[in-house]
Each structure stands twice: as C-alpha cells, then as structure tokens.
C-alpha cells in the first residue's frame, strides 16, 4: 500500500486520484501509527523549505519516518519541496532538513537565466535520465515534466543525481539513494509522464 503523507504540504488529493485511477492501493496518512501500514511512502510538497519542515515537525511524523526510511528501508518518493527536505538544509531557510541524501538546496542565480521572468522556473521542461533507472521506464524525456521552483538540490555526490534538467544551469531534476527518491518537478501535474512515473515507483521491487 502506498502511503501519501499528509503533513499540510502538497497536492495530496491529486496524487491520490492518480493511484485510484491506476487501481493501486493507497491511503492518505496523517498519524504516526498509520505509517506502519504503508509499504512505500510519498512525501508531497508545495511552498517554502522552513514552512514545510516545520509542518512536518509539528505533525509528529518525523521520528517515525526516520525509523521507517533509515532503519526499515521503506521506499520513499519526495515531490518538489518534499524532495528538497531530503537534504541537509536550504538557502531558503534556517531549519535542518531530514538529511537522508547529502546535499543542500540553492537558489538559482538569475544572471544565468536568459528568459524573463527569471524565477520561478515554471512550466514544462525536458529531463535527461542519468543512469537508465527503472523508475523512468516508459517515460518520454523530451516531453518532460512540469516544474514550479526557484531553488534546486545540489548533491554532495554526483552518484545521487538521478536525472538532470537545464534552466540557465544544469541541475538535478531528480535524486536518489537506494530506496529514497526525490523529484523536483510535479508528477501530479505532468499528465501521462507523471502517471507513468508514479506507477513505476509503485511497482519497483526491493529484495
């Protein structure tokens, strides 16, 4: 069962609708004891880094999430700011992130962006799959995904970059470390590619 974590940030119902249409068992989870029911987790995210982290802290879910993801190795999929909080911290705020993937969130330098308005990076963009990971099976990279963000995740280790995108600079459009995934774009706004990506995550098998 896919657990969509509701800590007050993200398009949870849009994600739930996709899984419903795919006939994939899922549940919106807002209490720590409910997390045990999930075999995989989605961390949605819309908004600012500190606000999102504070909402997660206030929800009482963080300690249980750390245990399930780091100790029990439950697969997790962070979206937009839900991806950014996987890192150590952000230029956007002062709170610490979850620290599950080494890296920090940086703001785009507007001087490198040729088109106006410079920020946010909003709309459709292509991606480049770095290593043919099966989570991108049957994805049209040229069609791409829908982005809305002014900050990007800078990985400490290149090996954690799953795919790249270009917006003035080349940046990580998705990241991963074993069973932990983060997508800077919004699958729930990305039509067929987004549906396929969430389906792929649901079907990934781990020993």
Active site residues: 80, 186, 188
Helices and strands (H, E) in the chain, number of each type: 5, 13
Q: Is the peptide bond before 117 cis (omega within 30 degrees of 0)?
A: yes
Phi/psi at 114 (5° precision): -75, -30
The residues near 88 (Cβ < 8 Å, ≥ 6 apart) are 96, 97, 99, 102, 103, 104
| Token pair in block for residue 171 | 């940046």
């Amino acid at each position: 069962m896919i657990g969509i974590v509701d800590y007050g940030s993200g398009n949870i119902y849009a994600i739930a609708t996709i899984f419903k249409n795919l006939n994939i068992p899922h549940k919106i989870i807002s209490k720590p004891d409910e997390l045990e029911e999930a075999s995989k987790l989605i961390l949605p995210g819309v908004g600012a880094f500190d606000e999102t982290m504070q909402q997660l802290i206030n929800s009482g879910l963080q300690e249980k999430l750390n245990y399930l993801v780091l100790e029990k190795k439950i697969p997790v999929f962070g979206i937009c700011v839900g991806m950014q909080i996987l890192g150590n911290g952000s230029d956007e705020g002062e709170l610490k992130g979850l620290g599950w993937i080494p890296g920090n969130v940086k703001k785009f330098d507007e001087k490198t962006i040729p088109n106006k308005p410079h920020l946010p990076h909003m709309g459709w963009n292509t991606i480049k799959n770095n290593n043919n990971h099966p989570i991108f099976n049957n994805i049209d990279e040229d069609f791409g995904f829908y982005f809305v963000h002014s900050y990007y995740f800078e990985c400490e280790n290149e090996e954690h970059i799953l795919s790249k995108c270009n917006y003035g600079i080349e940046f990580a459009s998705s990241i991963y470390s074993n069973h932990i995934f983060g997508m800077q774009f919004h699958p729930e706004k990305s039509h067929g590619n987004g549906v396929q990506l969430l389906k792929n995550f649901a079907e990934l098998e781990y020993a």
